Amino acid sequence: MSTSTPATDGPPAVVLSGITKRFPGVVANSDVHLTVRTGEVHALCGENGAGKSTLMKILYGMQHPDEGTIEVAGKAVRFRSPADAIRAGIGMVHQHFMLADNLTVQENVVLGAEALHGIGGRARKVILDLAKSTGLTVDPAVLVERLGVADRQRVEILKVLYRGAKVVILDEPTAVLVPQEVDELFATLRAMQQQGFTFLFISHKLDEVRAIADSVTVIRRGTTVGTADPKAVSSRQLAEMMVGSELPSPETRESTVTDRVVLRVEGLGLVAEEGTRPVLDGIDLVVRSGEVVGIAGVEGNGQTELVETIMGMRRAHHGRVLLADRDVTRLGTLARREAGIGYVPEDRHRQGLLLTQPLWANRVLGHQTREPVAKGPWLDLAGAKRDTERIVADFDVRTPGIDVPAAALSGGNQQKLVVGRELSGDPVLLIASHPTRGVDVGAQALIWDEIKAARARGLAVLLISADLDELIGLSDTIKVMLRGRLVADADPASVTPEDLGSAMTGAGSTSAAVAELGGGE
């Protein structure tokens, strides 16, 4: 069933045939077939909840298939645990990094594989050699909590290689990277491919799949739809295979920007630790009614702090925040929310939802003082449930009911719930941090549509995103953030992701390409 470029002869690296996996109430995988040839980069595409993760967990021994067989390098295998998979030469880089922050890089790498080279100097030497031969340079002695995202990913890949894996599963490896880092990662992968490594690349970013993969298998609703040659099909065709419908686009057509200022930030400054560089430095920002202002920036350059300062979760050291001419600098978070700020946090698990609580309880969060979930000093549970039903219907949250815990929903549906909640109660300003991170194409389209519709109704939106296409498509104005400062403006009508990317890393921020394009204010 596969069609495209081979790398070496011999039996395929991995063959999955007829894999079926049932969980109580759902069939996660049914009759999945997948053939990965040795030395290729094989992409696995599908919406969130389509069953990619379960399939990879089966291949990595974390789940056991109810039916079907697994062959690795021509031999049938049964994995009882990840240790078995590792022994068979399969390694996995998880989407959410599996690293212990308080251990060093070396400790993280050798953990579980101490028998190979011990945990001391010998292991260190092996790690350095590996790093050198693959280009995954990182200092083994440093604590993981000090590392940025791209470095953590390198550690994850090193971990897998250290165990002697020849087949590496990469679960959405680019979700957290900026374009330049993605390019680096791809360069690394290609170099390693030359050395005989095989990669299984899970993604729903189709451009990237087409850039790196030798063949691509699409999975939809738990079963494989087919395998294609990425050089021969377009992104649109792939997307249609994935969702079976038309491709959404973040593009907004006509401007709805008015001249009524909703949010004005003046000279905002924030110092995280005494004596260090400020994380926010003299931020001036205006968001008008009907306007989407996008903030571009590599993660860790102050976007999180900016949002949290505007939300009142951190106290600004300098400057003011005005919401429709009202100074809210000294107000707490709840008061700011009551004043009409909606907030889609960057990490819905950490800040947006109580995973173990039912959906209607999550509806109450942040609205606990307002209609329709509260009446005077009391919570209005009936009202909360009614309004949750409304969100579930209007935002197409796919759930068996509003009494299931939030954890039971897929990422996309959780995010739809959060967006629905934050757009409730007629906010005047929406702060959206990575609103479509880690959600599938369908949910992404819906969230984009809702933001666009709210914008058309006059909502002011402050958008932070690592997805540059989303940022360019949705925004009316883009500002580039670097080391706690807004360093450049960009015009979404003409800027390219590459321009933005180089401005974000500081490489081209002064090259004036972006600043000249910009006509922000």
Partner 1 sequence: MNPSEAPATVPPPRKSRRLPGWAVGVLGVAGAVVLLSTTSYLTGVPQLTSTGTIQTAVRLALPILLAGLGGLWAERAGVVNIGLEGMMIMGTWGAAWAGYQWGPWAALVAAAVFGALGGLLHAIATVTFGVNHIVSGVAINLLGAGLTKYLSTLVFFPLSHNPRESPAVPKFDTYSAPGLSEWLGDLEAQQRVGLSDVAGILRGLVTGVSPLTMLAIALVVGSYLVLWRTRFGLRLRSCGENPVAAESLGVNVYRHKYAAVIASGALAGIGGAALVLNPGQPGYLEGQTNGRGFIGLAAMIFGNWRPGGLLGGAALFGYADGLQLRSGGKTFLALVYGAVLLLAVIVVWQLVRRRWFAAAGGIVAAVALYAVYYSVDEVPSELTTYAPHLVTLIVLAVASQRLRMPAADGVVYRRG
Which residues contribute to the site for partner 1 (CB under 8 A)?
62, 81-83, 86, 92, 94, 98-103, 107-108, 110-115, 118-119, 135-137, 146-151, 154, 159, 178, 180-181, 184, 187-188, 191, 274-277, 298-301, 482, 504-506
Q: How far is the CB of 299 from partner 1 (least distance, A)?
A: 6
Torsion of CA 395, 399, 405, 411, to 10 degrees: -60
90-93 vs 341-344, strand pairing mode: unpaired
Strand partners, 226: 218
Tokens for 475? Answer: 């925004």
Q: Tell me if 354 sits within 8 A of 342, measured CB to CB.
A: no
Q: Which is nearer to partner 1, 3 or 195 (CB)?
A: 195
CA atoms within 13 A on the CB side of 140: 22
Smallest gap from Cβ 457 to partner 1, in A, equals: 36
Nearest distance in Å: CB 348, partner 1: 19
**Amino acid type, 237:** Q
CA atoms within 13 A on the CB side of 176: 19
Per residue, what are the HEC states of 415-446?
A: HHHHHHHHCCCCCCEEEEECCCCCCCHHHHHH
Residue 16 or 298 with smaller CB distance to partner 1: 298
Q: How far is the CB of 300 from partner 1 (least distance, A)?
A: 6
Which of 87/386 has CB closer to partner 1?
Answer: 87
Closer to partner 1 at the Cβ: 110 or 402?
110
Measured distance CA(289)–CA(52) in Å, rounded:
40
Name the pairing type of β-strands 75-77 and 67-72.
antiparallel
Residue 274 DSSP label: T
Minimum distance from residue 112 beta carbon to partner 1 (Å): 3
**Residues forming beta bridges with residue 203, ordered by sequence position:** 45
Determine the Cα–Cα distance for residues 27 and 97; give it in Å rounded to an integer: 26
Residue 264 backbone phi and psi in degrees, to 5:
-130, 125
Minimum CB distance to partner 1, residue 270 (Å): 15
Query: How far apart are CB 26 and partner 1 at their closest, in Å?
Result: 16
23 vs 335, beta carbon nearer partner 1: 23
Residue 315, CA distances (Å) to 277, 311, 386 in order: 17, 9, 36
Residue (265 or 298) nearer to partner 1, CB: 298
Q: How would you label 257-279 residue by residue, b for 16+ Cβ within 10 Å and e otherwise? A: beeebbbbbbebbbbeeeeeebb
Minimum CB distance to partner 1 smaller for 126 or for 504: 504
| Residue 10 near residue 169, CB atoms below 8 Å | no
Question: In the bound complex, what is the minimum distance in angstroms from residue 135's beta carbon to partner 1?
Answer: 5
The helix-helix angle for 411-422 and 441-456 (nearest 10°) equals: 10
Cα distance between residue 278 and residue 317, in whole Å: 10
Nearer to partner 1 among residue 147 and residue 364 (C-beta): 147
* Residue number with CB closer to partner 1 (473 or 484): 484
**Please, what is the minimum distance in Å from the beta carbon of residue 56 to partner 1?**
12
In the complex with partner 1, the residue whose CB is nearer, 139 or 229, is 139
Residue 329 C-beta: closest distance to partner 1, Å: 20
CB neighbour class for 60 (10 Å; exposed up to 12, middle 13-18, buried from 19): buried
Shortest approach of partner 1 to residue 182 CB, angstroms? 11
Nearest CB to partner 1, comparing residues 481 and 495: 481
